Amino acid sequence: MERSLEKQKKWEQRTDLPLMLAAVAFFVAYALPVLKPEIPAFWVEVCDWAQIIIWAMFIIDYLVRFSLAPHRREFIVNNWFDLLIITLPMLRPLRLLRLLTVLRMFDRHAGNALRGKVTSYTIGTTLIVLVTAAIGILEIERKLPDSQIKDFSAALWWAITTVTTVGYGDTVPVSESGRFLAIALMIFGIALLGLVTGLLSSYLVEKVSETEDKTEYKILKQLEAQNQELKRLSEEVRYLREQLATAPTKE
Amino acid sequence: MERSLEKQKKWEQRTDLPLMLAAVAFFVAYALPVLKPEIPAFWVEVCDWAQIIIWAMFIIDYLVRFSLAPHRREFIVNNWFDLLIITLPMLRPLRLLRLLTVLRMFDRHAGNALRGKVTSYTIGTTLIVLVTAAIGILEIERKLPDSQIKDFSAALWWAITTVTTVGYGDTVPVSESGRFLAIALMIFGIALLGLVTGLLSSYLVEKVSETEDKTEYKILKQLEAQNQELKRLSEEVRYLREQLATAPTKE
Amino acid sequence: MERSLEKQKKWEQRTDLPLMLAAVAFFVAYALPVLKPEIPAFWVEVCDWAQIIIWAMFIIDYLVRFSLAPHRREFIVNNWFDLLIITLPMLRPLRLLRLLTVLRMFDRHAGNALRGKVTSYTIGTTLIVLVTAAIGILEIERKLPDSQIKDFSAALWWAITTVTTVGYGDTVPVSESGRFLAIALMIFGIALLGLVTGLLSSYLVEKVSETEDKTEYKILKQLEAQNQELKRLSEEVRYLREQLATAPTKE
Amino acid sequence: MERSLEKQKKWEQRTDLPLMLAAVAFFVAYALPVLKPEIPAFWVEVCDWAQIIIWAMFIIDYLVRFSLAPHRREFIVNNWFDLLIITLPMLRPLRLLRLLTVLRMFDRHAGNALRGKVTSYTIGTTLIVLVTAAIGILEIERKLPDSQIKDFSAALWWAITTVTTVGYGDTVPVSESGRFLAIALMIFGIALLGLVTGLLSSYLVEKVSETEDKTEYKILKQLEAQNQELKRLSEEVRYLREQLATAPTKE
């Protein structure tokens, strides 16, 4: 068991950077034919093959990690998202989210400040999710006759009006797959709203509790008073002891 | 009074599982003719009868619990939702929410973690509410000529755009009853937003207060220092006493 | 100064109930011709006169309170909303909000629980604001040719989709005054969202801090240990003193 | 280094008021031709020149502060927004946000109450942002044939429905630049929602923790009891010492 855990860590350390690069490459290979449909057919094919190869890499990585995992059931539960995007071809646009692994770089630069870290992650994740959703919806909806999403600009506009829950309704997905993507984006939007609010309100709660008088402050004052009393008492006892030490000699 | 409380508990323990199953059965009997309108008329009738029978069961359960309740006025107030969905035929789709009793199963598996429990309940409730709202709106709006909600997929899409408060406006209820359902869903959506935010911000408030220096931490440090001082003092006093115990013998 | 404050309180105590009733009467006189436009012209005129008389009452009450106020500038600042709805005829629908004074009744029934009180006020205020906005928008928009709000049901539907920030866009005010009302409702909606979230998250923060291990808990444990140590020390000192009291006699 | 920091402060103190006035003047020069397109061409030109001159002032101020800054890289990072609105002509409407410097006046009047300060800033910022967004979108969209935003009233209506995330969709930007502005407004809307919620929930968390029994309160009670015990102990020890002081004389 111990040894398999060690092997697992080694595997993850070695594959960390290559998989990050693979995620970036997958993003490019996916985005290019969607954003520039006028590129020669040869390059489209190259991108297709690149996607398939990188997808195979993701599968191999998953299988190796699975075989090395000490608790296999736990591994499947913890990596449900990886399993989902590897197996379901319908969720192919979500594979772009492998790009989120790039955010791990924040870990290296980040100090202790939890809130700063959460803020960085939130902004990074939001940007990647928005671009991913825009490219995904563009691929799905562009060729549909009654779609309003025909270029990247409209796609990004749709993604942002959705994630902020503004929802004008001027650009709306009309296909089943497009709606799936939209639902994922809405759930992310709700979580984003919660995070922004949570960050701001945790900040306010802390700042307010620092500046305003509170029970805690009274406790601190009481403790300081107690410390003084204790010191006085110690002094008294020390004096007592000295007296006692000299008393017998007096006698 | 004591005895009626005992009887009430016994009744609830005995009917817990059957009522859960009845709620699931009601859900199936309600959903089937709505989702599959092409099933033979015989099965539609079976479903209709099943709904009526289960509804009667709900009424009987309510009346028994009412007759056993020690404080009847309190009982009516606490079970206002049950009374509402039993009496008003207009709110029939809301009877599907009896399915929420299935979530009681979380209680058995859940540990101490309140937040984990609230998260489980929130996700479970949201899923049931969404499916319930989608089936309900589909039944109400499908046959209306100017409705945009003609199949389950559109109904679920409407439910999700509503609950997340995105509200594109591409699928909107047009009948009075449909709007009633929509209002219930919007109120749930507001509460859901509040819960998600509350969960995330309570988590952040806690994490931040753990990692960052705060008054509490200073208090803890003070207390630890004080404890050491107290122990030193105790030692001193014990020494004093020993001296005193031996002093008379010296004499 | 002291005496004018006393007079002010007396005036407010005496006019409290009559003004509440006047607010209810104003609501009825305003709502009736809007909700039932088919009532005879005579009753419409009665309602018009009732509104004017009650409006005059509000003005007189404002002027009396102003003349009794010890600090007049402060009074104007604190009662800016009263001044606004009394003077601007454009904001006439907002006069219905005088009905909110009825919520003062909660103060009598409410116990200590702040959260329960805030919840009651929030629900009460929301209901009154929604009905007020619906009646107001109906009066403003019903006669406009391109308006989608022609009956109370549509007006309430609009009010609820707006206050929850869902904003389908299927019913939208088209006149300047209607949009003014809508903006007031949206601001209320934002505050409502904040309140619901705040209530839920303050509840969660508290519950979580109660159930989970925290610095505070450690502090409490330390204090309990300290208390034991202190008692032991006291005992020791008492014994010491007894010894000392008997020692001289031994000698 | 020290000297340049001193110089920087001096520069900022001297330019504070002129830059505030310049921001107001820029606002007027920008808003006038947009809100009153019927003014004579001469005045339009005056406004154009005023804008260019004030823009040049902003650039000079930026360059002087840059040259005085002790850490230049830090300066660029901290003043990214200034650099952005100075350099990108596309973001010209955002220059109106320099008006936010007027809010610095709150600092003079504000007391200790952090929450009051945040509330003032939030309301002030929201008003300026809304008016800025309305004027900006009006300038961008008014001349477009398929735009629904043709006057200031419609522009403000759009801005408010967007910032509250209601998003009816009855007035929507149709140009690229308009959508850019809309996205900035939506991001502000999300932050506004978070702030309102944070303010309300920090208020509720504090109020509730004050009124309800909590661990902290128990700690305070324990400490008070302990202090009494300590005093009693001190008394005892003092008595002991007095006895000890008299004991030898007895002998």
For residues C19 and C101, give the distance between their C-alpha atoms in angstroms, rounded to a whole number: 8
* Partner A, chain D 141-180, Cβ-Cβ below 8 Å: 162, 165-169, 172, 176, 179
* Assigned domain for A32 exists: yes
pLDDT in tens, B18-53: 888 888 898 889 889 888 888 898 999 999 999 899
Asked if pLDDT for residue B185 goes beyond 90, the answer is yes
A196 closest CB neighbour out of D191, D216, D234: D191
pLDDT in tens, D204-244: 776 766 554 455 666 777 777 777 777 777 777 777 777 66
> What was the pLDDT predicted at A162?
94
For residues B86 and D133, give the distance between their C-alpha atoms in angstroms, rounded to a whole number: 51
For residues D119 and D121, give the distance between their C-alpha atoms in angstroms, rounded to a whole number: 5
A217 closest CB neighbour out of B153, B215, B230: B215
Higher-confidence residue of C36 and B251: namely: C36
Record: contact D205-A207, CB cut-off 8 A: no
Hey, what long-range contacts does B48-52 have (CB within 8 A, 24 or more apart)?
B50/B25, B50/B26, B51/B26
pLDDT in tens, C143-190: 898 888 988 999 999 999 999 999 998 999 999 889 989 998 999 999
Residue A103: pLDDT band with limits 50, 70, 90 = confident
pLDDT in tens, C208-223: 665 544 556 667 777 7
Which two tokens mark A228? Answer: 């003084």
D167 closest CB neighbour out of B167, B197, B198: B167
**Candidate from A125-134, B208-217, D15-24, D38-47 with smallest mean pLDDT:** B208-217
Chain D environment of A239 (Cβ under 8 Å): 241
**CB of C67 less than 8 A from some CB of D:** no
> What was the pLDDT predicted at B8?
81
**Candidate from A17-21, A54-58, A98-102 with smallest mean pLDDT:** A98-102
Asked if pLDDT for residue A148 goes beyond 80, the answer is yes
* Assigned domain for A249 exists: no
Mean pLDDT for A116-136 is 88
**Nearest residue on chain B to A191, judged by CA atoms?**
B196
Instruction: Quote the Cα angle for B134-B137-B138, to 5°.
Output: 80
Record: contact C239-B237, CB cut-off 8 A: no
Higher-confidence residue of C205 and D174: namely: D174
> What was the pLDDT predicted at D209?
61
Same domain? For C33 and C87 the reply is yes
Same domain? For B131 and B164 the reply is yes
**Nearest residue on chain A to B220, judged by CA atoms?**
A220
**Nearest residue on chain D to C220, judged by CA atoms?**
D219
pLDDT in tens, A206-233: 676 665 445 566 677 777 777 777 777 7
Same domain? For A126 and A183 the reply is yes
Higher-confidence residue of D204 and C62: namely: C62
Mean pLDDT for B171-180 is 90
Concatenated DSSP letters of B65-78: HHHH-SSHHHHHHH
Q: CA B103 → CA C249, D10, D21, distances in Å?
A: 77, 66, 62
Higher-confidence residue of C206 and C109: namely: C206
**Candidate from A195-199, D56-60, D238-242 with smallest mean pLDDT:** D238-242
> What was the pLDDT predicted at D101?
75
> What was the pLDDT predicted at B216?
64
* Assigned domain for C193 exists: yes
Count of alpha carbons within 13 Å of A189, Cβ hemisphere only? 28
**Candidate from A83-92, A175-184, D173-182 with smallest mean pLDDT:** A83-92
Asked whether the CA dihedral C101, C103, C105, C106 is positive or negative, the reply is negative
> What was the pLDDT predicted at C113?
67
Mean pLDDT for A63-76 is 87
Contact A25, A99 (CB under 8 A): no
Record: contact B193-C192, CB cut-off 8 A: no
> What was the pLDDT predicted at C4?
72
Same domain? For A199 and A234 the reply is no
Same domain? For A67 and A134 the reply is no
Record: contact B193-A190, CB cut-off 8 A: yes
Domain range spanning residue A161? Answer: 110-212
B229 closest CB neighbour out of A201, A230, A247: A230
Record: contact A168-C165, CB cut-off 8 A: no
**Candidate from B141-150, B180-189, D5-14 with smallest mean pLDDT:** D5-14
For tokens 């200031």, name the residue: D152
* Assigned domain for B251 exists: no
> How many beta carbons lie within 10 A of that of residue A182, not counting itself?
26
The domain total for chain A is 3
Asked if pLDDT for residue A111 goes beyond 80, the answer is no
Contact A237, B237 (CB under 8 A): yes
**CB of C240 less than 8 A from some CB of D:** yes
Instruction: Determine the residue among A118, A187, A190, A231 to mutate to test chain B binding: the one whose Cβ has the most chain B Cβ atoms within 10 Å.
Output: A190
Q: CA B188 → CA A231, C186, C196, distances in Å?
A: 59, 18, 11
Instruction: Determine the residue among B122, B156, B201, B206 to mutate to test chain A binding: the one whose Cβ has the most chain A Cβ atoms within 10 Å.
Output: B201
Mean pLDDT for C107-120 is 65
Residue C246: pLDDT band with limits 50, 70, 90 = low
**Nearest residue on chain A to B219, judged by CA atoms?**
A220
Instruction: Quote the Cα angle for B73-B75-B78, to 5°.
Output: 110
Instruction: Quote the Cα angle for B13-B17-B22, to 5°.
Output: 130
Asked if pLDDT for residue C250 goes beyond 50, the answer is no
CA distance, residue C156 to nearest chain D CA (Å): 16
Alpha carbon A69 to chain centroid distance? 23
**CB of C226 less than 8 A from some CB of D:** yes
Neighbours of chain C (3+ CB pairs under 8 A): A, B, D
Instruction: Quote the Cα angle for B133-B139-B142, to 5°.
Output: 115
**Nearest residue on chain C to D214, judged by CA atoms?**
C210
**Candidate from D44-48, D199-203, D213-217 with smallest mean pLDDT:** D213-217
Same domain? For C232 and C218 the reply is yes
* Assigned domain for C45 exists: yes
Same domain? For B1 and B92 the reply is yes
Same domain? For A202 and A219 the reply is no
**Residue of A60, A36, A57, A58 whose CA lies nearest to A47:** A36
Asked if pLDDT for residue A125 goes beyond 80, the answer is yes
Q: What is the ipTM of this complex?
A: 0.74
* Assigned domain for C104 exists: no
For residues D233 and C233, give the distance between their C-alpha atoms in angstroms, rounded to a whole number: 8
Chain A environment of D90 (Cβ under 8 Å): none
Asked whether the CA dihedral B176, B181, B182, B187 is positive or negative, the reply is positive
**CB of D208 less than 8 A from some CB of A:** no
Residue C203: pLDDT band with limits 50, 70, 90 = confident
Residue D251: pLDDT band with limits 50, 70, 90 = very low
Same domain? For D65 and D121 the reply is no
Same domain? For B146 and B91 the reply is no
Reduce the DSSP state of residue B234 to 3 states and report it.
helix
Instruction: Determine the residue among D164, D168, D172, D201 to mutate to test chain B binding: the one whose Cβ has the most chain B Cβ atoms within 10 Å.
Output: D201
C167 closest CB neighbour out of A167, A197, A201: A167
CA distance, residue D218 to nearest chain C CA (Å): 8
**CB of B124 less than 8 A from some CB of D:** no
Contact C244, D250 (CB under 8 A): no
CATH code for the domain in which residue A148 is found? 1.10.287.70
Asked if pLDDT for residue D185 goes beyond 90, the answer is yes
Record: contact C169-A165, CB cut-off 8 A: no
Same domain? For D130 and D202 the reply is yes
- At residue C229, φ and ψ (nearest 5 deg) are -60, -45
**CB of C28 less than 8 A from some CB of D:** no
- Ranked by mean pLDDT, the top range of B100-114, B233-247, D159-173 is D159-173
Record: contact C157-B172, CB cut-off 8 A: no
Angle between helices D2-35 and D41-68 (to 10 degrees): 160
* Assigned domain for A251 exists: no
State which of C64, C99, C134 marks the end of a domain. C99
D233 closest CB neighbour out of A160, A223, A233: A233
> What was the pLDDT predicted at C93?
74
Same domain? For D116 and D178 the reply is yes
> What was the pLDDT predicted at D148?
87
- What dihedral do alpha carbons C163, C168, C173, C177 form, nearest 10°? 30
